[in-house]
Chains A and B, each alone.
Chain A
């Protein structure tokens, strides 16, 4: 039964991507009415939403390499849309996660401050590099995506990491909290350590978010859980919530520079939000690890394609 569900999902994933993959590289000659590409984009983002939730991977990290490699839109507009996709998904998820005490405001405030500040730097750097030559961005995006794939494959989250003792910053911002573990009904108290090292990690998160328009949730979780020692549930939820803070500064910059095209951004935001809703309902019925590996495979393919596009192949 499970095998047949997975097979159907696998077939769907590849059928969703195959039209754009087949059309890649020949988009200029392909005669399609104006609504053709936005419609394909809507369905693609819908499936990104479905599979992103099931795989535990944010929409932005899938959207930017796929849309910039397989669609005719310029990478500047794709990155602007990527930021709004991540922002929209994060805003939709935040109320529930905060109410349940899974996302922590006290943990998000300092981390998002560092990331959002460097997202401004990243946004300008990205727009400047793209103005010099879009291939610089396309190529470095390809390399970044391939690195992300390896991080996703080899970084193993820890359910409840051992936290030794917090440092000055942990005390200053009182980074701790309590949540109820639904599977056991027990209250879990948590705090974090190595906060300074974690904050340095968020410098990179912010830069990547600004340069490439990626949500960077994949990196947030790794920093919060593996470096700072937050329980994995807190790390995942706080990461989802913090994206709405991190990406808002860079999103304003892309919007002010005119890099937000409603014909791309609106269908993509609506598509991914609808998809994420369906994905969260399907989640209990599938094996997330198998879906995750499939999505990582697609991501790797998109990274390679992005790199090839940068070299004009």
Chain B
């Protein structure tokens, strides 16, 4: 007889699904709210909306030089600008997986699944590294 216990889904799968569901909704709400504040002019942008067509076809470096748009984590201190406000929602959406992995890490640790603890720890390291803006390349 086949050993059915050998085939099973990770018990953390449903928890992961619930975290994604709720945080994704929060992220989308923040994203749309920030964008509405930008489009309606409640928050004034770095670059006026009507001037945008002059800039969006520029290469990234040139765009950054001409508009003084934020890089790295500068956006946090510039959330009062209309064209920066939507980045908060974008950052929340980009953080959903990171949050899920943090929860997974402690869940796996609790049940002593060593290989899964290792894999989530390495993934978390790379996620934090890419989010931290610590890696830089020079041209």
Write out the residue numbers on chain A whose beta carbons fall within 8 Å of the beta carbon of B32.
Answer: 266, 270
A74-B56, A99-B17, A130-B59 are contacts. A92–B127 as well, Cβ < 8 Å? no
Cα separation A236 to B83 with both chains bound (whole Å): 36
Cβ < 8 Å to A, chain B residues 48-73? 49-53, 56-61, 63-64, 69-73
Write out the residue numbers on chain B whose beta carbons fall within 8 Å of the beta carbon of A130.
Answer: 59-60
A244-B20, A250-B130 are contacts. A87–B53 as well, Cβ < 8 Å? no
A120-B129, A178-B9, A244-B96 are contacts. A34–B49 as well, Cβ < 8 Å? yes
User: Which bracket fits the contact residues of B?
Assistant: 35 or more
Residue A152, interface by CB 8 Å:
no
Residue of B nearest to A257 (CB): B71
Write out the residue numbers on chain B whose beta carbons fall within 8 Å of the beta carbon of A273.
Answer: 28
Cα separation A53 to B18 with both chains bound (whole Å): 23
Cα separation A257 to B134 with both chains bound (whole Å): 11
A257-B71, A258-B60, A266-B31 are contacts. A98–B14 as well, Cβ < 8 Å? yes
Write out the residue numbers on chain B whose beta carbons fall within 8 Å of the beta carbon of A253.
Answer: 130, 135
Residue of A nearest to B48 (CB): A34
Cα separation A264 to B38 with both chains bound (whole Å): 13
Residue B94, interface by CB 8 Å:
yes
Write out the residue numbers on chain B whose beta carbons fall within 8 Å of the beta carbon of A131.
Answer: 59-61, 139
A60 to chain B, nearest CB (A): 15
Residue B90, interface by CB 8 Å:
yes
Partner of B137, one of A128, A172, A265: A128
Write out the residue numbers on chain B whose beta carbons fall within 8 Å of the beta carbon of A9.
Answer: none
Write out the residue numbers on chain B whose beta carbons fall within 8 Å of the beta carbon of A106.
Answer: 9-10
Does the CB pair A113–B56 fall under 8 Å?
Answer: no
Cα separation A87 to B24 with both chains bound (whole Å): 10
Cα separation A96 to B20 with both chains bound (whole Å): 10
Cβ < 8 Å to A, chain B residues 1-42? 2, 4, 6-10, 12-14, 16-18, 20-21, 24, 27-28, 31-32, 34-35, 38
Residue B102, interface by CB 8 Å:
no
Q: How many residues of A contact B (CB 8 A)?
A: 73
Cα separation A273 to B17 with both chains bound (whole Å): 18
B101 to chain A, nearest CB (A): 8
Residue B106, interface by CB 8 Å:
no
| A interface with B by C-beta (< 8 Å) | 27-28, 32-35, 37, 72-74, 76-77, 84, 87-88, 91-92, 94-96, 98-99, 101, 104-106, 109-110, 112-113, 116-117, 120, 123-124, 127-128, 130-132, 134, 172-173, 176-179, 189-191, 244-245, 248-253, 255-266, 269-270, 273
Given A176-B8, A191-B7, A262-B35, 15 other A-B contacts at CB below 8 A?
A: A91-B27, A99-B14, A104-B13, A105-B12, A105-B16, A109-B120, A130-B60, A131-B59, A178-B9, A189-B7, A249-B127, A256-B131, A262-B83, A265-B90, A270-B32
Mind listing 24 A-B residue pairs with CB under 8 Å?
A: A34-B50, A34-B52, A74-B60, A74-B63, A84-B90, A95-B20, A98-B20, A104-B10, A105-B13, A105-B104, A124-B137, A127-B137, A189-B7, A248-B97, A255-B90, A256-B131, A257-B60, A258-B60, A258-B63, A258-B70, A261-B56, A262-B34, A262-B90, A273-B28
| B interface with A by C-beta (< 8 Å) | 2, 4, 6-10, 12-14, 16-18, 20-21, 24, 27-28, 31-32, 34-35, 38, 49-53, 56-61, 63-64, 69-73, 83, 86-87, 89-91, 93-94, 96-98, 104, 115-116, 119-120, 122-123, 126-127, 129-131, 133, 135, 137, 139
